[in-house]
Amino acid sequence: MKKQIIYILALVLMVSVFTGCGSKSADNTEEASHEHKEGEEGHEDEGHEEEGMAELHLSDLKFKSLGIKIDALPTRALSDVVEANGQLEVPPQHEATVTAILGANVTSIKVIEGDKVRKGQILAYLAHPNLSSIQSNYVRAYSQLQYLEKEHARQKKLYEENVGSGKTYQQTLADYQTTKGEAKGYEAQLKQLSLNVEKIRQGEIYEQVPVVSPISGYIEKVEVQLGQFVDPQTVMFRVVNTDHIHADLMVFEKDVYKVKKGQKITFTVESVPGATLTADIYSVGKQFEQNPKAVHVHAEIDQKEDFLIPGMYINGRIHTNSREVMALPEDAIIEEEGKPYIFIAESHQEDGETEWAFKPVEIRTGIIDEGWVEIKLLEALPEGTKVAWNNAYYLIGEMKKGDTEHGH
């Protein structure tokens, strides 16, 4: 009986040991299984991380409301551009400085700055006591010349017929030539003063001298006042013919070799926002200005607007070498983290509705010309691929907004 009790206790002890080990093994197995599942879940989260930039999806209604233009990636002739600044100028032959011919008082001014004048138009009048004496001297010399001309002809005839004295003929000839020179001298002075010598010969005496414009154009500056005494060569007026206004640009030494006669220029005027004009180069300077080291480039403006005034500052773009390249409007390109992108576009049907998908593609850019940018693809696009021609900023903005909402 005692042996039986001992056997039963031993059996119970063994059962307890095996039961405890099994429980612990099960616990370990469950824990390992749980850790394995957590590991799998971790790997599954990583798989959902998006590589690169996601796509943007738009309904057909939204697509049309935005006016997004979709087409193939085009080629376009773009030019390398040389940037240059300068001013509007007028060639020297179309500017005039009007000076006083003689010392006199300003008795009348007929124009103001900005007035349009024609060649020969009277700008002012001058008066001086010596004016009358010059005219009187001319009338006297001219009358004497008329007499001596006839006397010279008569004495010459007598001399040739051996009737008259040779000495008398020679004296008459000398007097005639002297008086002729005096008359011509006075006449030249009167013409310089813009006085009508024919009327003066007939006895009309001018009390004022007209000051006239030597060219047609506009009065740029009036340098005198009424009643002022002006010395000979005193500047009275400045006249400029703006019909011949042109663009004068300064091209730096590093760019001079690119610039040639006949190239096209587009330029803007700093004081006239929104105005873009064009011109053609007709002259490239052959001497450097030293500060800065640059040469003058002159260009004829295609359409001379009324608001163009000499001295206006301009910003120009000289179009040099032109070549065919893939290009898109500037509005089709977006830069993200220092890298440029364009958007390729695809449409598909979703539940009977058209849906658009836009995907950014990294590129490189080249020439920028007149709002177009050269596109350099890093990888060739499949044949028939369509790209967005505009609204790149909106597309990237919507894409970022979608990413933010997804993150929340």
* pLDDT tens for each residue of the chain, 408 residues long: 444 444 444 444 454 444 444 444 444 444 434 444 444 443 333 333 334 567 888 888 888 888 999 999 999 888 888 999 999 999 889 999 999 988 899 999 999 999 999 999 999 999 987 888 888 888 888 888 888 888 888 888 887 777 767 788 888 889 889 999 988 998 888 888 778 888 888 888 888 889 999 999 999 999 999 999 999 889 999 999 988 899 999 999 999 999 999 999 999 999 888 889 999 999 999 999 888 899 999 999 998 888 898 999 999 999 888 888 999 999 999 998 889 999 999 988 878 888 999 999 999 998 888 789 999 999 999 999 999 999 898 888 888 776 555 555
Q: Is the sign of the CA dihedral 246, 252, 256, 258 positive or negative?
A: negative
**Contact assessment for residue 119 and residue 215, using Cβ atoms and an 8 Å cutoff:** yes
Res 37: pLDDT: 43
Residue range 56-80+324-407 forms a domain whose CATH class is mainly beta
- For residue 162, what pLDDT is reported? 79
Q: Where are the beta strands (DSSP E) in 93-245?
A: 95-99, 104-109, 116-117, 122-127, 209-212, 217-222, 229-230, 235-240
Question: What is the rounded radius of gyration, in angstroms, for the C-alpha atoms of the chain?
Answer: 48
Matching CATH number, 95-240, of 3.30.540.10, 2.40.50.100, 3.40.190.10, 1.10.10.10: 2.40.50.100
Residue 97, number of CB atoms within 10 A of its CB? 14
Q: Is the peptide bond before 292 cis (omega within 30 degrees of 0)?
A: yes
Determine what percent of the chain is predicted with pLDDT higher than 90: 40
Where does 82-92+242-319 sit in CATH, by number?
A: 2.40.30.170
What Å distances lie between residue 45 and 31, 39, 52, CA to CA? 21, 10, 17
Could you tell me the strand order of the sheet in which 116-117 lies? 95-99, 235-240, 217-222, 116-117
Same fold, 56-80+324-407 and 95-240: no
pLDDT at 96: 95
As a whole number of angstroms, the distance between CA 62 and CA 197 comes to 84
Domain ranges of the chain: 56-80+324-407, 82-92+242-319, 95-240
